[in-house]
Amino acid sequence: MRSGLCLCLLLALGCAQDTAPAGPATLGAGVGIPPDSREDGVVLRDLLKDGPAARAELRPGDRLLTVDGSAVDSACALEGLLLDHHPGQEIKLTVRRGPEVLEKTVKLAGALALHEEACQAGQGAGCYELGVLYVKGQGVAADPQHANQLFDQACQRGSAAGCAELGGRYLNDLGGTADDARILDLVRRACDGGNAAGCAHLAFLYATGRGVTQDDGRALDLYQNACDGGDAAGCYNVGLHFERARGTLVENRSLAMIAYGRSCDLGDAQGCTNLGFFYERGLGTPRDVTRAADLFRRACEGTPCDREDRMGCFNLGVLYRDGEGVAMDKAQAAALFEKSCDGHNAFGCANLADLLAAGDGVPRDVQRAGELFRQACAGGHTISCRNTLALQTTAGKAEETAQAVDRLDKACQEGDNDSCHYLGTIYSEIGRASCRERV
């Protein structure tokens, strides 16, 4: 399971060409997800004047279905299809306009030159796309500060995407900082301009009480707007609010599942992990561990467009370890726990250590197990602190033993009953002589 508010920036993915001074090839148009997720393709928007799409007589609102016969279902997919093309090359597009399906031949332009010209001509969309090139270092040296200046110009010239991007970058201290009032103004303008990411950023402010009075109800409404506009993080947070009864009178697991499913379909690995957790535990739906395993695998593997979620790797590892929903395979479980641990997931480290300490499905390696238990303990996994102590006491590492006891003691004082139990067990087993004095 994954919890916590998710704040994601919608940076357009571009395709660097190592030897092309014009930068990546472009259609000269932005794309978005159709409001109805059952519709194919992506929606064209923000067409640059005299850009390839505009010259081919495409229009905002047209749905781009294919490029040279390959399906397009996201901005990232489109950029991936353009990866092997260069400025000046022709491609064939299939576009739906209302009931009509059109075939268009488009000559690609160099992104850097096209967007520079458009920005200088006062087109906000051109400034926005030029800023993305400076963020990603495509055709130019990466320059996050200059990128922010370009996003600011885009915002001032009416680009909701520019306002959203700048506000989101300030929230994450990328390329500069701004006070909460400035950020609020940017993301509010973006949301009012119909930008889904802007609504998600504004929702985050209300959910966390940053620069505004904390209001979960308002946050939920804004996250829903973002989700309806195709923002994966917005859908994830809708699910989180319904699951935790934030902004609602009661928990609603059915609506949480719908939102997590939409988030997963939009490419958010955390949404896949949480949906898988619901199926694994039978929360709001009949238990289906096979379905859960598929979702955890999807989250763990990610895609070329979407980052993986290491919690999904851990959950899938548990299923392989226990033989639920998949054939039991302790070696595969260990590999998944290792991937999770490499992503700083304490549960993954702890479970890999368990297998190594016991030689369960993998060669026994007590030394490595001890290192992993210490790593998991430092990450807040209190049972691993006890396991660390058991191994360290045998090895006579008194200083590290005392540090682990301190962590358990702190957790016990904060009300963790298991830590108190383990601490008592440790004292009965090894005595206070192994602990430092406390004032």
Q: Average pLDDT, stretch 159-173?
A: 97
Least confident of 151-155, 243-247, 302-306: 302-306
Give the H/E segment covering residue 126. Answer: helix 124-136
In whole angstroms, give the CA distance from residue 210 to residue 206. 7
Q: What is the pLDDT of residue 76?
A: 83
Q: What is the pLDDT of residue 432?
A: 31
- 359-377 pLDDT, tens digit per residue, is 999 999 999 999 999 999 9
pLDDT: which is higher, 389 or 178 = 178
In whole angstroms, give the CA distance from residue 243 to residue 259. 10
Is the domain spanning 25-112 CATH 3.30.565.10? The answer is no
Least confident of 8-12, 77-81, 188-192: 8-12
| DSSP secondary structure code for residue 230 in this structure | T
Please give the structure tokens belonging to residue 390. 């058991």
- Res. 340: pLDDT tops 70: yes
Give the H/E segment covering residue 328. Answer: none
In whole angstroms, give the CA distance from residue 426 to residue 271. 39
- 226-268 pLDDT, tens digit per residue, is 999 999 999 999 999 999 999 998 999 999 999 999 999 998 9
Sorting pLDDT into bands at 50, 70 and 90, what band is 415? confident
Q: Average pLDDT, stretch 90-95?
A: 96
In whole angstroms, give the CA distance from residue 96 to residue 98. 6
Q: What is the pLDDT of residue 437?
A: 24
Q: What is the pLDDT of residue 413?
A: 81
Q: What is the pLDDT of residue 417?
A: 72
Q: What is the pLDDT of residue 408?
A: 64
- Res. 396: pLDDT tops 60: no
DSSP H helices, 27-110, are: 52-55, 75-82
Q: Average pLDDT, stretch 9-31?
A: 56
DSSP H helices, 229-288, are: 232-244, 253-265, 269-281
% of the chain residues with pLDDT over 70: 85
- 312-338 pLDDT, tens digit per residue, is 999 999 999 999 999 999 999 999 999
- Res. 12: pLDDT tops 80: no
Give the H/E segment covering residue 122. Answer: none
pLDDT: which is higher, 190 or 428 = 190
- Res. 300: pLDDT tops 80: yes
Q: What is the pLDDT of residue 23?
A: 65
Q: Average pLDDT, stretch 106-121?
A: 95
- Res. 286: pLDDT tops 70: yes
User: Is the distance from CB of 12 to CB of 79 less than 8 angstroms?
Assistant: yes
Q: What is the pLDDT of residue 418?
A: 63
Q: What is the pLDDT of residue 400?
A: 53
In whole angstroms, give the CA distance from residue 225 to residue 91. 34
- Res. 130: pLDDT tops 70: yes
Side chain identity at residue 382, one-letter code: T
In whole angstroms, give the CA distance from residue 374 to residue 372. 5
User: Is the distance from CB of 87 to CB of 110 less than 8 angstroms?
Assistant: yes
Least confident of 32-46, 210-224, 230-244, 340-354: 32-46
Domain boundaries, the chain: 25-112, 380-439
% of the chain residues with pLDDT over 90: 70
Determine the 3-state secondary structure of 151 from DSSP.
helix
Residue 182 burial (CB count, 10 A):
14
Q: What is the pLDDT of residue 109?
A: 94
Q: What is the pLDDT of residue 83?
A: 77
Mean pLDDT in the chain? 87
Q: Average pLDDT, stretch 117-140?
A: 94
Q: What is the pLDDT of residue 271?
A: 97
What is the model's pTM?
Answer: 0.81
Q: What is the pLDDT of residue 306?
A: 79
- Res. 16: pLDDT tops 80: no
Please give the structure tokens belonging to residue 321. 């370890």
Based on C-alpha coordinates, what's the Rg of the chain? Answer: 26
In whole angstroms, give the CA distance from residue 313 to residue 272. 11
- Res. 196: pLDDT tops 90: yes
In whole angstroms, give the CA distance from residue 92 to residue 333. 45
pLDDT: which is higher, 426 or 380 = 380
Q: Average pLDDT, stretch 388-404?
A: 58
Picking from 184, 104, 193, 196, the residue whose alpha carbon sits closest to that of residue 157 is 193
In whole angstroms, give the CA distance from residue 434 to residue 394. 12
